[in-house]
Amino acid sequence: MQKKYKIGYTTGVYDMFHIGHLNLLQRAKEMCDYLIVGVSTDECVETYKHKTPVIPYEQRAAIVAAIRYVDEVVPQTTMDKMEFLKHRHFDVMFHGDEWKGTPLYNKYEEEFAKVGVHIEYLPHTKGINSTLLRTKIE
């Protein structure tokens, strides 16, 4: 079966890896031949979430790299997706559908369209996220 896209890209923190992360990676891989996953570095997470991940970057990256749907893991050092596109080509970026229609992702859709890159929004797994897990642990 022919995949819809050749090279896909998605990013995340992947702190306390859970079924929602796995579902997103599986759905993304079903739509592309090669999936690149940007794992946010600890420093990157601190710049926008203002907290340190529970699991250090090296361990999160190793966990994501071990997932069979992932072809390559790269460090995400900035939240600017266009910056990554300047260094590595991809045909599609996958993201959770909770961001669809937001000003930031409307802007990405416009910028990506100019260079032939699509955004595919994938359904969020209800009832699970790393913040919820963190709260339960605390």
Residue 79 is which amino acid? M
Residue 123 is which amino acid? P
Of 3, 4, 6, 49, the active-site residue reads: 49
User: Residues near 48 by Cβ (< 8 Å), separated by ≥ 6?
Assistant: 79
User: Residues near 32 by Cβ (< 8 Å), separated by ≥ 6?
Assistant: 3, 4, 5, 6, 7, 8, 91, 92
Q: What is the DSSP letter of 124?
A: P
Examine the residue annotation and report whether 107 is marked as an active-site residue of this protein: no
Contact status, residue 76 vs residue 38, Cβ threshold 8 Å = yes
Of 51, 107, 114, 126, the active-site residue reads: 51
The number of beta carbons lying within 10 Å of the beta carbon of residue 93 is 25
Examine the residue annotation and report whether 126 is marked as an active-site residue of this protein: no
Residues catalogued as catalytic: 49, 51
